[in-house]
Amino acid sequence: MASITFYSLGNADSSLIEFADERLMLIDYYKGKEGDEEEDKRVNLPDELRSVLENKDRDYFDVVAFTHRDSDHVQGAEEFFWLEHADKYQGDDRVKIEGMWVPACFILEEGLKDSARVIREEAKHRLIKGEGIRVFSQPNALDEWLNSKNIKPKDRAHLITSAGTCAPEFTKEKGEAEIFIHAPFRFQVDEEEIDQNKASLVFHITFFEGERTSRAWFGADTPYDIWEKIVYKTKAKKRIDRLIWDVFSISHHCSYKALSVEKGGNKTEPVENVKYLFDQGQSECYLISSSMPIPSEDTDQPPHKQAAAYYEGVAGEKGDTDHFLVTMETPSIDNPQPILIEIDKNGLTWKKITGIATGVAAVVSRPSQRQGSINVE
């Protein structure tokens, strides 16, 4: 059995996949809540992840994928992970990364700051070292960068995976899953000015359970024009099975820009190929928006109510409008909790209650709030 957990982090992403062979893959990292502010309903991701690892007697993830370098996908990672490139990022409490996944542009981009800069340095260190890394797409610029480090690109070819192929770490026999890489495309990284959202890591996972399969999309902050290209190319290659899905991690925190150039009045109408993609949802499929609650008014920033209306419509057409889930609304706006979806021979099951630590289990899985005699006479 496999599972996917979507964490409630506001307009930010982090999802954890546990594969059938118990390997753990974290997709993006955003530290979330800090401090004890009651109004801040986001989870504290480091605490959540440490609790997961502790229950599994582990101090590492098998894979940590950073889909792109925006702060809502990497912030605080340098405080949480054991990073090999500098001593100051190493300590007993830090969590190790067996395999780091990044799109090529993450390594190539200059001028990064804060968490993104540190993670880029770690990725570079690992690529130079030749282990513990997988880079997605092989633009010319990456070859040039490797040459500049006196490394022959062919000596690192085994660490680089191009769009249109599967990541070699997972197969039907190894992990009972295939991870098919749809993007980034090579040409996007070689463009003079890199648009991070357009050069993000986008992949599609097929989970095998005996003869049955279930499929999931992870699309980072990918805009509609890249989705169009992904669908166009996949259809052209007659790989429709790589478009079908049972759970879709909605792009860009429910922004209309992931669907179309036009926001629409009440509902965003997706461009043709994007609509085709959402038509591939299977019966009772799930659409997960990693975002703040859906507003009732029109807003500039995501989540956009128009996009939400479209996604909710897709969920309804496929069997259940309640399967459009917003991380900061589930189960309630007052008390959002991680969304756990289990995948087994019966398909997908949203573990509404039984998968979530409540009561005693919740209290003893997290640090307490601040207590103590301050202000007491």
Partner 1 sequence: MSSDFYTFGEPVQFKSLKYRRTIEFVESVNKHNYAKLRMILKKDGLECVEFDVSPERPTRPVADIRKLERICVIFEEDENKKPFVLALRKSFPATLLHLNLGDYGGPRSLCLFEEDYRSIAHTLTPENFLLRIFSWLSRAASGEQHLPDQPLEPFVIVSEKMIFDPVDLAQDFRDRLLAVVLLEEKPNPIYRVESIPLKDLPKPPCFIAVPIITDPWHSRIINDTPTSLAQLDILLRQVGVSLIDKLQSKTIETFGKKFHEILMDYSWALILILPKKREDEAEIESVEHFAFFVLETIGSLGQKLGVLAKHNESWGRIIGDATPTALEGCLIKAIRPICSFNKNLANKLAGLMMESTVKITAVGAGAIGSHVVSNLARQGLGRWFIIDNDQLLPHNHSRFALSPHYEGKNKAEALSLEIATLLNDESAAKGFARDVFSFDKNIQEAKECLSDVKHIFDFSASPGVSSHLALLPDRSPITSVFLLQEGRVLIIISEGIQQKNRLDDLEIQLAVATIENADLSGLLRATGGPRIRYSGACRDVTTILPQDIVATQAGIASQFLKKNISNELCSINIWSLSEENLEISRRSVETQSVIVKSVGEWEVRVSQRTVNLMRKYRKAKLPNETGGVLLGCMNILAKIVYVGTVLPSPRDSEEWPTVYIRGFRGLRKTVERIKAETGQNLTYVGEWHSHAGAVSARPSEDDIKAHSKFAKEMGEEGYPSVMLIQGGRGYPCVLLGHRSQYQYV
Point out which residues bind partner 1 (CB under 8 A): 36, 38, 47, 50-51, 54-55, 93, 212, 214, 246, 282-285, 320, 322, 331-332, 344-354, 358-377
CB closer to partner 1 out of 148 and 371: 371
Q: How far is the CB of 38 from partner 1 (least distance, A)?
A: 8
- Token pair, residue 200, equals 């993000």
Q: How far is the CB of 10 from partner 1 (least distance, A)?
A: 20
Q: What is the DSSP letter of 166?
A: B
Q: How far is the CB of 29 from partner 1 (least distance, A)?
A: 20
Cβ neighbors of 17 (< 8 A, separation 6 or more) are: 2, 3, 4, 5, 24, 25, 26, 27, 205
Q: How far is the CB of 175 from partner 1 (least distance, A)?
A: 21
Best CA proximity match to 104, nearest among 150, 63, 148, 69: 69
Q: How far is the CB of 311 from partner 1 (least distance, A)?
A: 17
CB closer to partner 1 out of 67 and 206: 206
CB closer to partner 1 out of 51 and 299: 51
- Token pair, residue 18, equals 């546990």
C-alpha dihedral, 143 to 166 to 220 to 264, nearest 10°: 110
Answer yes or no: are the C-beta atoms of 4 and 287 closer than 8 Å.
no
CB closer to partner 1 out of 134 and 323: 323
Q: How far is the CB of 371 from partner 1 (least distance, A)?
A: 5
Q: How far is the CB of 225 from partner 1 (least distance, A)?
A: 31
d(CA 326, CA 329): 5
CB closer to partner 1 out of 150 and 375: 375
Q: How many CB atoms lie within 10 A of CB 225?
A: 16
Q: How far is the CB of 43 from partner 1 (least distance, A)?
A: 13
Q: How far is the CB of 1 from partner 1 (least distance, A)?
A: 11
| Crossing angle for the helix pair 272-279 and 224-236, to the nearest 10 degrees | 70
CB closer to partner 1 out of 76 and 347: 347
Q: How far is the CB of 214 from partner 1 (least distance, A)?
A: 8
Bridge partners, 181 (sequence order): 203
CB closer to partner 1 out of 296 and 354: 354
Bridge partners, 103 (sequence order): 136
Pairing of strands 202-209, 212-218: antiparallel
CB closer to partner 1 out of 261 and 363: 363
Beta strands in 220-306 (DSSP E): 245-249, 281-289
253: three-class secondary structure by DSSP:
helix
Q: How many CB atoms lie within 10 A of CB 170?
A: 24
Cβ neighbors of 4 (< 8 A, separation 6 or more) are: 15, 16, 17, 216, 247, 340, 341, 343
CB closer to partner 1 out of 148 and 373: 373
CB closer to partner 1 out of 223 and 336: 336
Distance set, CA 79 to CA 74, 116, 126, 161 (Å): 11, 12, 18, 28
Beta strands in 125-244 (DSSP E): 133-136, 160-161, 177-183, 202-209, 212-218
